Amino acid sequence: MSISHEEEKTLGLGVGIREDDFQAASVPFHTRGKAFDEQLATMQRIWSGQPFSAEVGAIGPAPAQAGGPEILIGAFAPRALHRLGQWGTTCITIMELSGAR
C-alpha cells in the first residue's frame, strides 16, 4: 500500500456496523471501535518510521506520501467523528452514501 512514487493514495476505512459480519469472522462486535483505534495507531507508527513494537523495529518500505496515505474514514456516530478528528484526513457519511444533500 502506498509504495508507488507515481501517485498519491487514499485509504478508505470504517469500523463496520453489521454485527453478522463480525459473527461470520468470529470477531467481537462490541470491541470493534477499540480494535480499530489500535489498528490506526499501528499504521501511523509504521508509516512514520517508528518501531512496530518494543521487540520489532521499523518495518516496510517508506510510504510514498510522508506519513502514509490520505485516510478516509466512514463516520456518523459521535465516537466515529472523534476518531475521524484524531486519525482521518477526510470522511464519508451516510448522507453522502445515500445521495441526500
User: Is there a domain that residue 5 lies in?
Assistant: no
pLDDT in the model for residue 2: 44
pTM equals: 0.75
Residue 89: pLDDT over 80: no
Domain count, the chain: 1
- Domain residues for the domain of 87 are 10-98
User: Is there a domain that residue 80 lies in?
Assistant: yes
User: Is there a domain that residue 67 lies in?
Assistant: yes
User: Is there a domain that residue 55 lies in?
Assistant: yes
Distances (CA, A) of 6 to 2, 3, 53, 63, 64: 10, 9, 30, 12, 8
User: Is there a domain that residue 2 lies in?
Assistant: no
